[in-house]
């Protein structure tokens, strides 16, 4: 039948058959002890095909695809109550009480969910990053990441599974319709409960050299590896949820208050424009905002200049009146305030100028003296206001 098919239709069938045969074999990597790979924690290799594991001696060659198998001690399994509509980046809020710290350093994977509950597996992000760097340095591509608990068969309601892997024990049981994972140091096996000890006795012969479980279901194991395209968890402030809600409410009120202030500012600006338009004899709709602002600035600057000149005259009038009282030969002709400052005209002989200069010169060093036609004119400049 295949000979009657065109080559263009035959090629996809050949690719499908070859790819399925190739994908049925996995190259598994794990460390001898829990933790990241390194010189003090060497790697071991095994081939997984059709649910059977066979240890291998050589490490994978560069550019090969591998599947990581982490130790049970490298993960934590949680079965927690979860409200409806909880998003993945909020899963960490459910585990802060159990972890006693911020969950942002944990990579969380949902293994199962039922109404009102989530079954979450937590992996240390630093451990996964160490694996990523090590595989990148060796040129390996990570196809998937599992935990050895996932390779054990599902426990029945009557009992569970007990197995020794390396220096620790693995227990996979069921309590109150919830699957429980437990790791236990092999050196403390004597302190196990009779029910768990019976699971070990019923299992295969204990061996400290065993690093791979016998019965596996790896073909259906859920991938735990964090992919680059997955949505990252939002950073958490490490604060209780009620406090975060209160802070969000306070921020909302602050924004509302700011909006009200902006509306009041706009209303006051319109009122000022109407006042300026009335003074200029123009309609308010013909007065643009820029001109109104310039007129207001000019009026404000003029008012400040007049107030400054008046304070300057009050400062000068006291010492000048005392000096004139001490010299009866002087007579005040006029005084005036203008844009330049204060101008005072005195009538008196020139012989009295030196005495008057002595009394006023120390305090009013910037005072200008002009003698003309038998009269003395004093000028005191007002401070110049710098324009913005």
Q: Which of 4-18, 220-234, 336-350 shows the lowest mean pLDDT across its residues? A: 4-18
The answer to whether residues 43 and 37 touch, using CB atoms and an 8 Å cutoff, is yes
Give me the pLDDT at residue 145, please: 92
Give me the pLDDT at residue 316, please: 72
Give me the pLDDT at residue 142, please: 92
* pLDDT tens, residue by residue, 347-380: 878 777 777 777 776 666 677 888 877 788 877 7
Give me the pLDDT at residue 6, please: 46
Give me the pLDDT at residue 195, please: 82
| Span 167-180, average pLDDT | 82
Distance, CA of 140 to CA of 282 (rounded, Å): 80
* pLDDT tens, residue by residue, 88-147: 888 888 887 777 777 788 899 998 888 888 889 899 999 999 999 999 999 999 999 999
Look up residue 189 and give its two tokens: 């096996």
| Span 227-233, average pLDDT | 54
Distance, CA of 248 to CA of 236 (rounded, Å): 14
Distance, CA of 170 to CA of 168 (rounded, Å): 7
Q: Does the structure show a pLDDT above 50 at 8?
A: no
Single pTM value for the model: 0.52
3-state secondary structure of 30: strand
The answer to whether residues 184 and 193 touch, using CB atoms and an 8 Å cutoff, is no
Give me the pLDDT at residue 134, please: 93
Phi, psi of 185 (to 5 degrees): -60, 135
* pLDDT tens, residue by residue, 37-54: 988 999 989 888 877 778
Q: Does the structure show a pLDDT above 60 at 202?
A: no
Q: Where are the domains of the chain?
A: 22-159+215-227, 250-287, 311-381
Give me the pLDDT at residue 239, please: 59
Give me the pLDDT at residue 138, please: 92
* pLDDT tens, residue by residue, 266-299: 777 777 767 766 666 665 555 566 666 676 677 6
What is the 8-class DSSP label of residue 214?
S
Task: Name every residue whose Cβ is closer than 8 Å to that of residue 341 and which is 6 or more positions away in sequence.
Answer: 309, 312, 379, 380, 381, 382
What is the 8-class DSSP label of residue 38?
B
| Span 252-256, average pLDDT | 83
Q: Does the structure show a pLDDT above 60 at 235?
A: no
Give me the pLDDT at residue 11, please: 44
Query: Sorting pLDDT into bands at 50, 70 and 90, what band is 203?
Result: low
Helices 289-326, 353-361: crossing angle, 10 deg rounding: 120
The answer to whether residues 163 and 169 touch, using CB atoms and an 8 Å cutoff, is yes
How high is the mean pLDDT of the chain? 76
Give me the pLDDT at residue 140, please: 93
Q: Percentage helix, strand, coil, to 5, in the chain?
A: 45, 25, 30
| Span 172-195, average pLDDT | 83
Give me the pLDDT at residue 20, please: 39
Distance, CA of 79 to CA of 113 (rounded, Å): 9
Sign of torsion, CA 224 229 230 232?
positive
| Span 338-354, average pLDDT | 77
More confident residue, 45 or 202: 45
3-state secondary structure of 135: helix
Q: Which of 189-193, 225-229, 284-288, 335-339 shows the lowest mean pLDDT across its residues? A: 284-288
CB neighbours of residue 132 within 10 Å: 15
* Strand order through the sheet with 52-56: 52-56, 43-49, 25-31, 65-70, 141-147
Distance, CA of 77 to CA of 75 (rounded, Å): 7
Give me the pLDDT at residue 354, please: 77
Query: Sorting pLDDT into bands at 50, 70 and 90, what band is 248?
Result: confident
Report the DSSP pairing between strands 25-31 and 75-81: unpaired
* Strand locations in 288-353 (E): 331-337, 341-347
Rounded percentage of the chain residues whose pLDDT exceeds 90: 9
Helices 289-326, 241-280: crossing angle, 10 deg rounding: 70
The answer to whether residues 181 and 149 touch, using CB atoms and an 8 Å cutoff, is yes
Give me the pLDDT at residue 37, please: 92
Residue 276's Cβ-count burial label (10 Å; 0-12, 13-18, 19+) is buried
CATH number for the 311-381 domain, one of 3.30.420.40, 3.30.1360.100, 3.90.550.10, 3.40.47.10?
Answer: 3.30.1360.100
Give me the pLDDT at residue 125, please: 92
Q: Does the structure show a pLDDT above 70 at 184?
A: yes
| Span 182-196, average pLDDT | 83
Q: Name the region of 176 (left: φ>0; alpha: ψ -120 to 50; beta: rest).
A: left
* Strand order through the sheet with 341-347: 331-337, 341-347, 375-381, 368-372
Q: Architecture of 22-159+215-227 per CATH?
A: 2-Layer Sandwich (3.30)
3-state secondary structure of 332: strand
């Amino acid at each position: 039948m295949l000979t009657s098919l065109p080559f263009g239709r035959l090629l996809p069938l050949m690719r499908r058959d070859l790819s399925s045969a190739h994908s049925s074999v996995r190259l598994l990597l794990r460390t001898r002890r829990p933790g990241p790979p390194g010189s003090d924690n060497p790697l071991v290799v095994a081939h997984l095909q059709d649910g059977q594991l066979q240890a291998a001696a050589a490490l994978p060659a560069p550019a090969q695809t591998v599947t990581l198998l982490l130790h049970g001690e490298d993960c934590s399994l949680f079965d927690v109550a979860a409200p409806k509509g909880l998003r993945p980046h909020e899963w960490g809020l459910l585990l802060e009480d159990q972890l006693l710290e911020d969950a942002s350093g944990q990579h969380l994977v949902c293994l199962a969910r039922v109404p009102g509950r989530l079954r979450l597996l937590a992996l240390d992000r630093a451990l996964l990053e160490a694996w990523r760097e090590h595989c990148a340095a060796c040129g390996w591509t990570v196809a998937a990441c599992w935990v050895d608990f996932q390779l054990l068969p599902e426990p029945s309601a009557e009992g569970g599974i007990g197995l020794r892997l390396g220096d620790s024990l693995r227990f996979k049981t069921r309590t109150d319709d919830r699957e429980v994972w437990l790791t236990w140091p092999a050196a403390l096996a004597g302190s196990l409960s009779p029910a768990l000890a019976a699971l070990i006795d019923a299992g295969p012969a204990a061996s400290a050299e065993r690093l791979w479980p016998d019965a596996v279901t790896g073909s259906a194991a859920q991938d735990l590896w964090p992919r680059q395209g997955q949505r990252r968890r939002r950073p958490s402030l490490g604060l209780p949820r009620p406090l975060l809600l209160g802070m969000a409410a306070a921020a909302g009120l602050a924004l509302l208050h700011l909006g009200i202030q902006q509306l009041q500012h706009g209303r006051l600006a319109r009122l000022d424009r109407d006042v300026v338009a009335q003074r200029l004899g123009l309609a308010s709709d013909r007065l643009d905002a820029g001109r109104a602002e310039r007129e207001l600035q000019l009026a404000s600057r003029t008012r400040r200049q007049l107030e400054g000149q008046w304070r300057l005259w009050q400062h000068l009038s006291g010492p000048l009146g005392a000096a004139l009282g001490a010299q009866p030969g002087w007579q005040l002709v006029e005084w005036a305030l203008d844009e330049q400052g204060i101008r005072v005209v005195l009538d008196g002989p020139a012989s009295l100028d030196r005495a008057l200069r002595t009394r006023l010169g120390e305090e009013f060093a910037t005072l200008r003296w002009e003698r003309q036609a038998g009269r003395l004119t004093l000028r005191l400049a007002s401070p110049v206001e710098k324009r913005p």
